Amino acid sequence: MSPALRRHAPLVLVALLVLYPLLPFLDWAVTAIFGVRLQLDRQIINVMIFAILALALNLQVGYAGLLQLGIAAFFAIGAYTTGILTVDKYPFQLGFAGALLCAPVVAGLFGLLLGAPTIRLRGDYLAIVTLGFGEMTRVVILNLENITDGPRGLNPIPEPVLPDWLRDGLDRFLPADRIDLAAIHWIVLAALVGLLILMKNLERSRAGRALVALREDELVSGCMGIDPARTKLTAFAGGAAIAGLAGALYATNLRTTAEPNTYDFSYSIMVLCCLIIGGLGSLRGVVLGALVLLSFDNLVSPLLTRALQEQLGHDSTSVFANFANWRWLIFGGALILMMRFRPGGLWPARKREVDPATKADA
């Protein structure tokens, strides 16, 4: 890749994603090529939401080095906050914009609440606390049926509406369902791009460098005047808030909070997988990881299963014949292999070169 192209590649990608909802024929083309309806429009939104969630975890695990195994809990809190604030059952009915503002705040508060007493715990104990919190949250949401509608989930969640002038403009050359899609697509895209810019700046800011310093050596960075507990807690609550934002977008996209068991431990681990595969602390890597993981689930796995079942024919009821059943073997194996052979991930974070002048002094 030439340097110019390399520099402009992200911009081109974003521009393509902005234009995507205006090009409905792309979906027809993809359907024609693969022979199955892949719902590419919905998949792109899913990947972007998943990438936002992964960026939240990246703030906690990648930058701050806090192993968090319960990110699904904050995702769920965001989704359910959106549900409670918007569905007909409750008197709030704030609509999409209100929920989008409140969900990160509520999730962030839960993050503070959990983090304040536990952030000082050693790494592996913190991992277990967050795991326990994640499972507890799921069980509580499932059991408080009066509030959360239990296994049915809260629905219907209203969809975002575009401003009238834009809607009228699009009305002329797009079908109605495509306009609804465009609304959620653009909102999610804006959130993702905004977050990426924010994270990029964080990497170069005082707060971001303090986090990385803490991750590398808590003792030394403490001596350099960084307050470990405070810095870590900020990162933890910040990650929780972003996960809440992802949850709000997720619920809005699905138009329901989905059933509570969606937000289980394996969901948290899937997000962690995405970081480890893409590259801990690497923004490009995290987005790549989200793309790889969801492509496996929604593209590779169904296509392979179809191919396999065509081959086997008679034995298609067996567990082995469905590729979806192999996913944890593959993801678990990926975790093991990545840790052993490529701890930086597929697309690792670039380490800033040490200035040769200062290096000579050291």
Partner 1 sequence: MLTLAQQLWIGLTNGMVFALIALGYTMVYGILELINFAHGDLFMLASFLALTLVGLLGLATASGPVVVVGLLGVVLACAIFAALINRTVDRVVYRPLRNAPKLAPLVSAIGVSFVFQNLGLFWGGLPLDVMGGGLAAAAPKSFPDLIPSTNLLGDGAAFRITAKDLVVIGSSLCVMVALWLFVTRSRLGKAMRATAQNPLAARLMGIDVDRVISATFLIGGALAGFAAVIYGLYVNTIKFQDGYQNGLYAFTAAVLGGIGNIPGAVVGGLVIGIVRALSDQYIGAQWQQAVVFGMLIALLVFRPQGLLGANVREKV
Distance in Å from the first CA to the final CA of the chain: 36
Among 9, 16, 339, 342, binds partner 1 (CB under 8 A): 339
> Which listed range, 39-47, 97-105, 220-228, 323-331, lies at the site for partner 1 (CB under 8 A)?
323-331
Query: Considering the rule CB under 8 A, would residue 361 count as an interface residue with partner 1?
Result: no
Total residues at interface with partner 1 (CB under 8 A): 46
Q: How far is the CB of 281 from partner 1 (least distance, A)?
A: 12
Query: Considering the rule CB under 8 A, would residue 117 count as an interface residue with partner 1?
Result: yes
Query: Considering the rule CB under 8 A, would residue 140 count as an interface residue with partner 1?
Result: yes
Contacts of 116 (CB under 8 A, 6+ apart): 233
The two structure tokens encoding residue 251: 């619920």
Backbone angles phi and psi of 134, in degrees to 5: -60, -45
Query: Considering the rule CB under 8 A, would residue 132 count as an interface residue with partner 1?
Result: yes
Query: Considering the rule CB under 8 A, would residue 113 count as an interface residue with partner 1?
Result: no
**Chain centre to alpha carbon of residue 305:** 26
In the shown chain, the binding pattern of residues 250 to 279 toward partner 1, with x for contact by CB under 8 A and - for none, equals: ---------------xx--x--x---x---
- Residue 62 or 160 with smaller CB distance to partner 1: 62
Can you give the length of the chain in residues? 362
Query: Considering the rule CB under 8 A, would residue 335 count as an interface residue with partner 1?
Result: yes
Query: Considering the rule CB under 8 A, would residue 316 count as an interface residue with partner 1?
Result: no
Q: How far is the CB of 163 from partner 1 (least distance, A)?
A: 44
Q: How far is the CB of 3 from partner 1 (least distance, A)?
A: 34
> Which listed range, 27-35, 255-263, 293-301, 314-322, lies at the site for partner 1 (CB under 8 A)?
314-322
Query: Considering the rule CB under 8 A, would residue 210 count as an interface residue with partner 1?
Result: no
Gap between the Cα atoms of 226 and 219, Å rounded: 10
Q: How far is the CB of 30 from partner 1 (least distance, A)?
A: 30
Following CA atoms 261, 265, 271, 272 in sequence, which dihedral angle do they give, to the nearest 10 degrees? 180
- Residue 16 or 116 with smaller CB distance to partner 1: 116
Query: Considering the rule CB under 8 A, would residue 224 count as an interface residue with partner 1?
Result: no
Binding site for partner 1 (CB under 8 A): 65, 67, 69, 117-118, 121-125, 127-129, 131-133, 135-136, 139-140, 142-143, 219, 265-266, 269, 272, 276, 317-320, 325-329, 331-336, 339-340, 343
